[in-house]
Amino acid sequence: MRLIGMLDSPYVRRVAISARLLGLPFEHEAVSVFRHYDTFAAINPVVKAPTLVTDDGVVLMDSGLILEHLERLAGRSLGPADLADHARAQRILGLALAASEKTVSLVYEFNLRPEDKQHGPWVERVRGQLAEAWRLLEAEVAAPPPGFEGSQAWLTCAVVWTFAIRTLPGSIDAATCPALAALTARAEATPAFRATPFD
């Protein structure tokens, strides 16, 4: 399998770490949707990261859909089996992905849009949504469900926190999220994370 995309993307990185935790071998190709657009388009004309090319040559995209395929391939899930615990883990995962989406929106707004074209009310709305995602996520991971450590929700929380701290440090007051910061420190010290560093 080939995983296409840069590891500074939380979506690419969560797929790469998940594949390692599932014991699935893959080749990572660090192709940027910005700097290597034509190269990426030759693999996936939609130019969406992450892109996964299966051993049969099928081109998959969207991290959630790729992860569903990888879990089927591995014959096991990175989520809890118990229904109630699964619901809690899915809530945590949804909050982490919301924080990721809002962080990406702000990164694009500040890095790609000229300052005179930035819309202040929209930026403030996204900042408010992001702050709420962090607040709710911190409350959830402070008392997580059984089996949380090592789950998809757990690893996505850590990946998104690292992404936000590295790309938009001003968007977070780390002191208000000690559980998230501690979770991320533990995760980043594991072999799967160390083998898949944020570039």
Residue labelled with tokens 């990426």 = 40
Q: Where are the domains of the chain?
A: 2-74, 83-194
pLDDT grade for 73, boundaries at 50, 70 and 90: very high
Both tokens of 99, joined, read 């924080």
Task: Check residues 39 and 122 and name the one with the higher pLDDT.
Answer: 39
Distance (Å, whole) CA 164 – CA 170: 9
Four-CA torsion 126, 184, 68, 143, nearest 10 degrees: -90
Residue labelled with tokens 């599932």 = 22
Mean pLDDT of 28-40: 97
Both tokens of 21, joined, read 């935790």
pLDDT at 109: 84
CATH fit for domain 2-74, picks 3.40.30.10, 3.30.70.360, 3.40.50.150, 3.30.70.660: 3.40.30.10
pLDDT at 186: 97
Mean pLDDT of 38-52: 98
The CATH number given to 83-194 is 1.20.1050.10
Residue 175 has pLDDT above 80, yes or no: yes
User: What value does the mean pLDDT of the chain take?
Assistant: 95
Residue 158 has pLDDT above 80, yes or no: yes
Residue 58 has pLDDT above 90, yes or no: yes
